[in-house]
Amino acid sequence: MKGDYGSMAWVNDEKGKEYVCTVDPQHLNEKKLENLSEQEKKTCEDVNQIIGTERW
Protein backbone atom coordinates (compact mmCIF):
# COMPACT_ATOMS: atom_id res chain seq x y z
CA MET A 1 0.00 0.00 0.00
CA LYS A 2 1.33 3.38 -0.99
CA GLY A 3 0.63 6.60 0.89
CA ASP A 4 0.44 7.68 4.48
CA TYR A 5 -2.42 7.36 6.97
CA GLY A 6 -3.72 10.80 5.97
CA SER A 7 -4.35 9.65 2.39
CA MET A 8 -6.34 6.53 3.28
CA ALA A 9 -10.08 5.93 3.25
CA TRP A 10 -11.91 3.04 4.92
CA VAL A 11 -14.67 1.96 2.54
CA ASN A 12 -17.20 -0.85 2.19
CA ASP A 13 -18.37 -2.69 -0.90
CA GLU A 14 -22.05 -3.42 -1.61
CA LYS A 15 -21.84 -6.60 0.51
CA GLY A 16 -20.38 -4.76 3.50
CA LYS A 17 -16.80 -6.02 3.13
CA GLU A 18 -14.33 -3.43 4.46
CA TYR A 19 -11.30 -2.14 2.56
CA VAL A 20 -8.63 0.45 3.19
CA CYS A 21 -7.55 2.39 0.09
CA THR A 22 -5.11 5.14 -0.82
CA VAL A 23 -7.24 7.89 -2.31
CA ASP A 24 -7.09 11.37 -3.77
CA PRO A 25 -7.94 14.23 -1.37
CA GLN A 26 -11.51 14.59 -2.69
CA HIS A 27 -12.31 10.99 -1.60
CA LEU A 28 -10.85 11.08 1.93
CA ASN A 29 -14.32 10.97 3.50
CA GLU A 30 -15.73 8.44 1.04
CA LYS A 31 -17.43 5.36 2.55
CA LYS A 32 -18.45 3.43 -0.59
CA LEU A 33 -15.97 1.44 -2.69
CA GLU A 34 -17.99 1.96 -5.88
CA ASN A 35 -17.48 5.74 -5.67
CA LEU A 36 -13.69 5.47 -5.95
CA SER A 37 -11.82 5.79 -9.25
CA GLU A 38 -10.48 2.64 -10.89
CA GLN A 39 -6.94 3.73 -9.99
CA GLU A 40 -7.92 4.19 -6.34
CA LYS A 41 -9.64 0.78 -6.29
CA LYS A 42 -6.36 -0.84 -7.37
CA THR A 43 -4.77 0.36 -4.11
CA CYS A 44 -7.42 -1.22 -1.88
CA GLU A 45 -6.59 -3.95 0.61
CA ASP A 46 -9.11 -6.21 2.34
CA VAL A 47 -9.01 -5.17 6.00
CA ASN A 48 -9.52 -8.78 7.17
CA GLN A 49 -6.34 -9.78 5.34
CA ILE A 50 -4.41 -7.13 7.26
CA ILE A 51 -5.77 -7.42 10.80
CA GLY A 52 -7.54 -10.78 10.82
CA THR A 53 -11.21 -11.57 11.20
CA GLU A 54 -11.67 -10.46 14.82
CA ARG A 55 -12.78 -6.89 15.46
CA TRP A 56 -10.92 -4.78 18.03
- pLDDT value for 53: 57
Q: What is the mean pLDDT of residues 23-47?
A: 95
Model pLDDT for residues 1-27, shown as the tens digit of each residue: 556 677 899 999 999 999 999 999 999
* Angle at alpha carbon of residue 56, lines to 22 and 9, rounded to 5°: 15
Task: Judge contact between 31 and 14, C-beta under 8 A.
Answer: no
- pLDDT value for 22: 94
Average pLDDT, the chain: 87
Q: Which residue has the higher pLDDT, 33 or 7?
A: 33
CB atoms within 10 A of CB 11: 23
- pLDDT value for 49: 82
